[in-house]
Amino acid sequence: MEYKVEAHRIMSISLGKIYNSRVQRGGIKLHKNLLVSLVLRSARQVYLSDYYSGACLNAQSEREGNEWDITDSEREKFPPSATECDRVESTEEPQPNEQPEKEREYRENDDEVKSDQVDCTSTLQEQNQNSSLDSVAKVSSETPPESITEPKESPSDSAVAERDSTPEANGESHQPPKPHVCSNRKRSAEESESGDSPQKRTKVASSNAKEDEEAEEMDTSNVSNLITIFGSSFSGLLSKESAKPEAEAEDSGQICCDQMLKNLNPWSTAIVAF
Amino acid sequence: MHKNALLCSVAADIISTVEFNSTGELLATGDKGGRVVVFQREQESKNQPHRRGEYNVYSTFQSHEPEFDYLKSLEIEEKINKIRWLPQQNAAYFLLSTNDKTVKLWKISERDKRPEGYNLKDEDGRIRDPTTITALRVPVLRPMDLMVEATPRRVFCNAHTYHINSISVNSDYETFMSTDDLRINLWNLEITNRSFNIVDIKPVNMEELTEVITAAEFHPHQCNTFVYSSSKGSIRLCDMRASALCDNHSKFFEEPEDPSNRSFFSEIISSISDVKFSHSGRYLMTRDYLTVKVWDLNMESKPLETYQVHDYLRSKLCSLYENDCIFDKFECVWNGSDSVIMTGSYNNFFRMFDRNTKRDVTLEASRENSKPRAILKPRKVCVGGKRRKDEISVDSLDFSKKILHTAWHPSENIIAVAATNNLYIFQDKVN
């Protein structure tokens, strides 16, 4: 779903803004940070709404059997009106050899998605083409349970945190699609940076916000810096149970981050863990 | 209406506020570098009738300097957020200027006479040797070249934890209020070491923060009434007679959100960036990102009128979020008779809405079409489809050229428009 892509992109951009506000001249602007955190929260709700709505259909989808034996070309032609809930998910995972094909699809679909970015606010209501992206996303989302033992599988860290919080945690749950699924990253780079994707996206989004939205390959050194920065500040904030407003202006910005953080708990868990 | 360009001045820095005084004789601008420039209108003279009403620089002074809060390790910007004039009571002019943390009262006065003939010091100011003084004389005032000097008379500081976004002088001319994100403080103009907190919306637990105050203003005639706007798109009217702390409003103005317009950015675009009472005191005007609304104080449920400023941006909110333009705080102004309202947009466009005829016009503040006595041509933004010859398409708009601050003369059709670091003054053509 494009709106999931957009939701994730907006989350990354928002995180980047909050991060940048710390180094801004004049101190943290409470109003702007509050608005950014509201956007972040909305985007996250949208992003995760599919997770919960899909989870309740899981039992139903199992009964309906395996409709997963469709070819890639058919996926591409999947009718735009199909919603995710209609999509049948199967616990029989697609074979790994389909993954390279999925990669190709990611990139194709990505270009189309990027051309629609200007209309991202309308993607909430309307459903553009590229529902094949949805099917691809579905496919990829099914892979983590199978590859859970593979430490290199990138979203597994963040997915683990999400999965643990839901009752269906036994490999048959409907996972949220990997965060990086719909971005234009090479697979190998993704797999080597397991658990990094949210932070990487933040960095890339904030630095590339004004360029074309093509996500480049991972820059591992920058990424690790970013993780360090996020890790030190966010985990530090997480450890504070309540905000002490001695330095209120600064804390207000931090508290906004705190607010956001509580919503992003699974991610920050991943950060801290990493 | 035809607008003549009268004057175009370039400031060294980005202009951050523009304000006429109560007679319109003076126009003050504040900029990002903490400077205030005051323009004065030329007196009409019979010798040069064509130079009627031009504004020339009257005084320039550094109002605020950058500061550093050592306790919080925060730099305090010197940018002037607001200027408000006090009504004139004697020959001197007084204005309040504020940055993020400190409000200052400035006195601007003219000096055109100089005392000469002191006994104890000579004309250069050096002390005379007393033994050389043989006679006593009375100093006399002699004319000198006009000098305009600005002196800070009061400094109101250390009362705001958050960033000050508004100041407003009360109609009693004794008090004023300063507003930051969470609190509004009431000051007496004479007393700087004490202020009263009249609104406090800070939650006990900052994590529960959901809205902030974005602007506030006193009623133009009722000294007990003021309004403040919030980031959630609501306006609260408070009466200071009701209680010392005005956390409970007397009136609450809010329009229910249109669910069909819901998006990730609904909250941002509903945040009110400016609120202004009409001169009559009967109406309120609010500006959010895409619209200007006029409210009747007697009707809280919905605005009286809603004007679309640049609705074509509604589909571009995501890009505007990315480049931070969605956080731009546009101001809005009434004309002297409350019949026309004006606000700014992008690409150096500004918009005027006539409340009576329901007609609106888009004008551009740019050097090309602002030669002296040139007439401004209405502009049009083409939303889609076929673009006419002199229309501009939405994608060609320059979002770095934004008009956030405008001012309207209190009684005449003279407007001041700040476009980044240029100030444009336009006047209605008089035949």
Q: CA nearest A47 in B: which residue?
A: B264
Q: Give contacts of B77 with chain A, Cβ < 8 Å.
A: 25-26
Read off the amino acid at residue B34: G
DSSP, collapsed to helix, strand or coil, labels residue B275 as strand
Q: Give contacts of B158 with chain A, Cβ < 8 Å.
A: none
Q: CB-based contact (8 Å) between A32 and chain B? A: yes
Return the pLDDT at B428. 80
* Residue of higher predicted confidence among B392 and A228: B392
Return the pLDDT at A269. 36
Contacts of residues B356-365 at CB distance under 8 Å and 24 or more positions apart, as own/partner, are B360/B307, B361/B1, B363/B3, B363/B426, B365/B403, B365/B417, B365/B419, B365/B422, B365/B424
**Given a cut of 80, is residue A237 above it in pLDDT?**
no
Q: CB-based contact (8 Å) between A117 and chain B? A: yes
Q: Do A13 and B322 touch (CB under 8 A)?
A: yes
Return the pLDDT at B5. 60
**Given a cut of 60, is residue A70 above it in pLDDT?**
no
Q: Are B251 and B301 in contact (CB under 8 A)?
A: no
CA distances B394 to A118, B109, B377, B378, Å, are 12, 47, 19, 16
Hey, which of A165-174, B41-50, B113-122 has the most confident mean pLDDT? B113-122
- Tokens 């702007």 belong to A32
pLDDT above 70 coverage of chain A, percent: 18
Q: Do B264 and A249 touch (CB under 8 A)?
A: no
A155 phi and psi angles, rounded to 5 deg: -80, 0
Q: Do B324 and A17 touch (CB under 8 A)?
A: yes
Q: Whose CA is closest to B91, among B114, B113, B115, B108?
A: B108
Distance, CA of A200 to CA of A4 (rounded, Å): 17
Q: Are B192 and B154 in contact (CB under 8 A)?
A: yes
Residue A31 is inside which H or E element, if any?
A: helix A30-56
**Given a cut of 50, is residue B125 above it in pLDDT?**
yes
Q: CA nearest A8 in B: which residue?
A: B264
A6, A13, A249 ranked by CB distance to B74: nearest: A249
Q: Do B264 and A46 touch (CB under 8 A)?
A: yes
A161 phi and psi angles, rounded to 5 deg: -60, -40
Q: Do B209 and A210 touch (CB under 8 A)?
A: no
Q: CB-based contact (8 Å) between B317 and chain A? A: yes
- Mean pLDDT confidence for B168-174: 96
Q: CA nearest A255 in B: which residue?
A: B207
* Residue of higher predicted confidence among A60 and A98: A60
Distance (Å) from the C-alpha of residue B233 to the closest C-alpha of chain A? 12
Distance (Å) from the C-alpha of residue B319 to the closest C-alpha of chain A? 6
Mention every residue, 6+ apart, whose C-beta is less than 8 A from residue B230. B211, B212, B213, B214, B236, B271, B272
Q: CA nearest B78 in A: which residue?
A: A26
**Given a cut of 60, is residue B53 above it in pLDDT?**
yes
Return the pLDDT at A25. 81
Q: CB-based contact (8 Å) between B77 and chain A? A: yes
Q: Do B327 and A251 touch (CB under 8 A)?
A: no
- Mean pLDDT confidence for A65-78: 44
Q: Whose CA is closest to B63, among B40, B23, B95?
A: B95
Q: Are A206 and A229 in contact (CB under 8 A)?
A: no
DSSP, collapsed to helix, strand or coil, labels residue A242 as coil
Mention every residue, 6+ apart, whose C-beta is less than 8 A from residue B289. B268, B269, B270, B271, B273, B313, B326, B328, B330
Distance (Å) from the C-alpha of residue A256 to the closest C-alpha of chain B? 7
* Residue of higher predicted confidence among A180 and A31: A31
Q: Give contacts of A202 with chain B, Cβ < 8 Å.
A: none
Q: CB-based contact (8 Å) between A247 and chain B? A: yes
Q: Is the dihedral of CA A211, A217, A221, A223 positive or negative?
A: positive
Query: Quick one: CA torsion of A223, A226, A227, A231, rounded to 10 degrees?
Result: 180
Q: Which of residues 118 through 177 in chain A touch B, CB cutoff 8 A?
A: 118-122, 124-125
Q: CB-based contact (8 Å) between B290 and chain A? A: no
CA distances B93 to B39, B84, B88, Å, are 12, 11, 6
- Mean pLDDT confidence for A63-79: 44
Q: CB-based contact (8 Å) between A86 and chain B? A: no
Tokens of A221: 């050194």
Distance (Å) from the C-alpha of residue B393 to the closest C-alpha of chain A? 15
Residue B143 pLDDT grade (very low, low, confident, very high; cuts 50, 70, 90): very high
Q: Give contacts of A31 with chain B, Cβ < 8 Å.
A: 163, 165, 181, 212, 214, 231, 271
Q: Give contacts of B324 with chain A, Cβ < 8 Å.
A: 17
Q: Do B206 and A252 touch (CB under 8 A)?
A: yes
DSSP letter, residue B294: E
Q: Do B75 and A27 touch (CB under 8 A)?
A: yes
DSSP, collapsed to helix, strand or coil, labels residue B82 as strand
Q: Do A262 and B212 touch (CB under 8 A)?
A: no
B339 phi and psi angles, rounded to 5 deg: -95, -20
Return the pLDDT at A58. 54
Return the pLDDT at A199. 42
Residue B126 pLDDT grade (very low, low, confident, very high; cuts 50, 70, 90): confident
A163 phi and psi angles, rounded to 5 deg: -60, -40
DSSP, collapsed to helix, strand or coil, labels residue A29 as coil
Return the pLDDT at A47. 86
Q: Which of residues 196 through 235 in chain B touch A, CB cutoff 8 A?
A: 205-207, 209-212, 214, 231
CA-based angle A272:B265:B317, to the nearest 5? 110
- Mean pLDDT confidence for B387-408: 91
Distance, CA of A230 to CA of B186 (rounded, Å): 40
Hey, which of A137-151, A211-225, A236-250, B143-157 has the most confident mean pLDDT? B143-157
B74, B182, B319 ranked by CB distance to A27: nearest: B74
Q: Are B15 and B421 in contact (CB under 8 A)?
A: yes
B77, B206, B322 ranked by CB distance to A26: nearest: B77
Q: CB-based contact (8 Å) between B32 and chain A? A: no
Mention every residue, 6+ apart, whose C-beta is less than 8 A from residue B167. B82, B84, B96, B98, B103, B176, B177, B178, B179
Instruction: Give the range among A199-203, B104-108, B404-408 with minimum mean pLDDT.
Output: A199-203
B177 phi and psi angles, rounded to 5 deg: -125, 150
**Given a cut of 50, is residue B164 above it in pLDDT?**
yes
CA atoms within 13 A on the CB side of A174: 23
DSSP, collapsed to helix, strand or coil, labels residue B264 as coil
Q: Are B72 and A249 in contact (CB under 8 A)?
A: yes
Distance, CA of B207 to CA of B210 (rounded, Å): 8
Q: CB-based contact (8 Å) between B321 and chain A? A: yes
A32, A118, A210 ranked by CB distance to B318: nearest: A118
DSSP, collapsed to helix, strand or coil, labels residue A26 as coil
Q: CA nearest B213 in A: which residue?
A: A31
* Residue of higher predicted confidence among A74 and B414: B414
Q: Whose CA is closest to A172, among A89, A63, A97?
A: A89
β-bridge pairing B422-428 and B3-10:
antiparallel
Return the pLDDT at B72. 85
Q: Give contacts of A255 with chain B, Cβ < 8 Å.
A: 206-207, 209
Distance (Å) from the C-alpha of residue B162 to the closest C-alpha of chain A? 6
Q: CB-based contact (8 Å) between B127 and chain A? A: no
Q: CA nearest B202 in A: which residue?
A: A252
Mention every residue, 6+ apart, whose C-beta is less than 8 A from residue B416. B18, B20, B27, B29, B406, B407, B408, B423, B424, B425
Q: Give contacts of B79 with chain A, Cβ < 8 Å.
A: 26
How many A-B residue pairs are in contact by the CB < 8 A criterion? 118
Q: CB-based contact (8 Å) between B68 and chain A? A: no
Tokens of A42: 């909305």
DSSP, collapsed to helix, strand or coil, labels residue A103 as helix
Q: Give contacts of B207 with chain A, Cβ < 8 Å.
A: 243, 255, 258-259, 262
Q: CB-based contact (8 Å) between A48 and chain B? A: no
